[in-house]
Chain A
């Protein structure tokens, strides 16, 4: 996935689009991650200043949500659903196999709402049903 290179000005430009939003911390962090692929360490202070919150507030939000990343992501983001419905059709083994093959690209997923066609995976935002290592490999960039 292609992301912009982080700079303070670019980050502030993202925040400026959210000026009118009520309760914007989470939205701001999501918007920054969408633009840059992750939340840069200097973003915490930027968001805090911009929305007149404490840095502790922003840090608290950043560390609460699984989606928010603090390191630049790789080229591929693979999630294998490891929740119950997918476990029932072998997702535990699939996750192991996919992790063995693609290592750090693989994140735990908890339900993509595709529970009748599991095991399910999401590769770079595209959903895969009846997933296999091969199907996941094919969907990678």
Chain B
């Protein structure tokens, strides 16, 4: 008898460990599997039991519920007020189109047998049987774009590295998921780490790299532990090491843990940090694809990009690019966060509207008050009001709407939010996290905080608003990376979409 209690840190944050312990002590003769979370985070801790008709879910479960669950014979899917029915039929989950996240929450994250039983390693085995050129071509053909936010086509990046001549090449996975409102990288690593390892192995074979590094943030201690275990198991299995699954390819994988710097999520700052230095942004060119880690050609991709590759290789480019709209092909793993009733992971093809995600899946705010704003794409993304909720969530439409899709995080705010304060926070965060290389970012962010403070206090509001817009322009045009270059996006979008918060009057509404 199998009982699933998620070991995902979001589930643990609301008591999953205690629930697992309580079940272990009350229910004898069963195996408790600490799976990842299926992503319906408002239902966590969501306990599942394996029954004749498939898995049956209960949630959210607290320790106090265990006794009544046992009395209701939940071990055999018995009726209970917290029963959610068959897991596969929960509408919120069943209506999604899981590609990157297809195994997350379903398998035992560290069981290779489980992984293979659910389609794992098919893509890698196929890649091993192909020429390296054909792998790169397949990835290019699929249209997979960088999920970290920039949306650069992965295949083109891989081609550049594959064509570079060097004695050493690297695959670096950017798992420095510092954007507030994003947690898909973490959940993927905690719930299905082998998918990431498989994607990195395929990338290594495709471009001729023999070393891989996952740069994983220190704020994710649970993910670090799980990924390290997965790497060790993959090693013992003969997947990683001198001969990948018995092939002529060698691939070693290591984790480098971050140290609490947001800007190290910028790819060149990340390289500096992996090299053990201050996370100061590098100028491009040279492109990291040609002169990256330790000066060698390097593929840098986000966790979700690399974790999508196994599916592309297993099912083919055509199946992947059949999803999505325009040049945004495939699926995006949206993350619903903040003041949201039903938050979590929503994986759907690109092109779903903000309305469908936030009100459809999200069910409005947690507080019950009306939504006033959403911030899409992390701390450097735009603040939108509900008038923009029909916007299609794809790279191009978001740009047209004056925002960006970023890493797919959507943070919801109710009517208590003060957008002038949010704009101030964007500048203050930039001041705190700027690496210091570019003057507009290093100094401009501090001046930005001061200027917004004057606007809030009602001092020469019109003049200061003009000054702030001017400053935003200088930061946008005069910064090397997205930290300084995009901090103006939340600031300007707040000013444009919520002018009533920038009048300098306290009782603005």
Contact = CB atoms under 8 A, between A and B. Distances in A.
9 contacts: A66-B260, A84-B180, A84-B411, A85-B181, A87-B422, A88-B412, A116-B336, A118-B337, A122-B219
Nearest to A81: B180
Interface in A109-141: 109-118, 120, 122, 125-130
A27 B337 contact: no
A115 B343 contact: yes
A117 to B, nearest CB: 6
Most chain A CB within a 10 A radius of its CB, from B259, B294, B367, B422: B259
Given A66-B259, A113-B219, 13 more contacts: A23-B294, A26-B273, A61-B276, A61-B277, A81-B180, A84-B338, A85-B180, A86-B180, A88-B337, A89-B367, A110-B260, A111-B178, A113-B10
Contacts of B223: 113
A57 interface: yes
Nearest to A18: B276
A67 B260 contact: yes
A84 B182 CA distance: 11
Interface string A73-102: 000000001011111110000000000000
Nearest to A60: B278
A85 B338 contact: yes
A127 to B, nearest CB: 4
Contact of B13 (A67, A68, A88, A128): A128
B179 A116 contact: no
Interface string A3-35: 000000000000000000011111111100000
A22 B13 contact: no
A120 B338 contact: no
Nearest to A121: B13
Interface of B: 9-10, 12-14, 41-42, 44, 177-183, 185-187, 218-223, 256-262, 273-279, 294, 335-340, 343-344, 366-367, 375, 379, 409, 411-414, 417, 422, 425, 429, 435
Contacts, number: 153
Interface of A: 22-30, 57, 60-61, 64-68, 81, 83-89, 109-118, 120, 122, 125-130
Given A57-B277, A129-B13, A88 B339 contact: yes
A26 B219 contact: no
A85 B200 CA distance: 30
Given A64-B261, A84-B411, A120-B13, A23 B417 contact: no
Contacts of A128: 13
Nearest to A25: B276
A64 B278 contact: yes
A130 B186 CA distance: 18
Given A84-B338, A127-B13, A23 B277 contact: yes
Contacts of B222: 127
A111 B14 CA distance: 16
A65 B425 CA distance: 20
B42 A116 contact: yes
A83 B294 CA distance: 33
A116 B10 contact: yes
A57 B187 CA distance: 35
A66 B182 CA distance: 20
Nearest to A79: B219
Contacts of A114: 9-10, 13, 183
A118 B411 CA distance: 11
| 7 nearest A-B pairs in the assembled complex, by CB-CB distance | A116-B343, A129-B13, A83-B180, A115-B337, A88-B338, A65-B259, A66-B260
Contacts of A28: 276
Nearest to B177: A113
A111 B435 CA distance: 19
A65 B261 contact: yes
Contact of B425 (A24, A60, A84): A84
Contacts of B425: 84, 87
Contacts of B429: 83, 110
B337 A116 contact: yes
A82 to B, nearest CB: 8
Given A26-B273, A83-B180, A115 B338 contact: yes
Contacts of B435: 64
A116 B379 contact: no
A71 B338 CA distance: 34
Contacts of A88: 337-339, 411-414, 417
Contacts of A130: 13-14
Given A85-B180, A85-B181, A68 B259 contact: yes
B278 A112 contact: no
A116 B344 contact: yes
A60 B241 CA distance: 35
A83 B375 CA distance: 12
B259 A117 contact: no
B259 A116 contact: no
Contact of A117 (B41, B279, B409): B41
A17 to B, nearest CB: 14
Contacts of B274: 23
Contacts of B182: 111, 113, 115
Contact of A110 (B9, B12, B180, B185): B180
